[in-house]
Amino acid sequence: MEIRTMESGKAWIVSVSGKLDALSADEYERALKQLIAEGKIHLIVDFSELSYISSAGLRVLLSTAKQLKPQGGKALFANLQEGVRDVFEMTGFSSILSIHPSVEAAMAAL
């Protein structure tokens, strides 16, 4: 997994590539915690290059979303690929997280 962060207007775009699994979930959580600690709390997570997610990955998406909420922040998710979307839909995550077809659409919804 690789995470790249880029400022874009009022939000930070967090591009995640590779796999979000039991081996990489902690790294994602650390990276997001760091952003939140730096006050970067309006996040658009771009999953266009994320090929895979498991429950370990879902767990850290949920925990970071919960950390953002009391600070008035938000994470929006864009560009879910087929395998990731299937897991989101199966587990109900597509209705508890904010999902958007593109980074632009997420930006407009922020």
Closer Cβ to another protein, 8 or 92, answer by number: 92
Which alpha helices (DSSP H) does the chain contain, by range?
A: 25-37, 55-68, 82-91, 93-96, 103-109
Closer Cβ to another protein, 6 or 59, answer by number: 59
Tell me which residues touch another protein (CB under 8 A).
Answer: 21-23, 52-56, 58-59, 62-63, 65-66, 69, 82-83, 86-87, 90-92, 96-97
Closer Cβ to another protein, 96 or 109, answer by number: 96
DSSP H or E segment with residue 51 = strand 42-53
Of 43, 53, 56, 57, nearest to 15 by C-alpha is: 43
- Write down the least CB distance from residue 39 to another protein, Å: 21
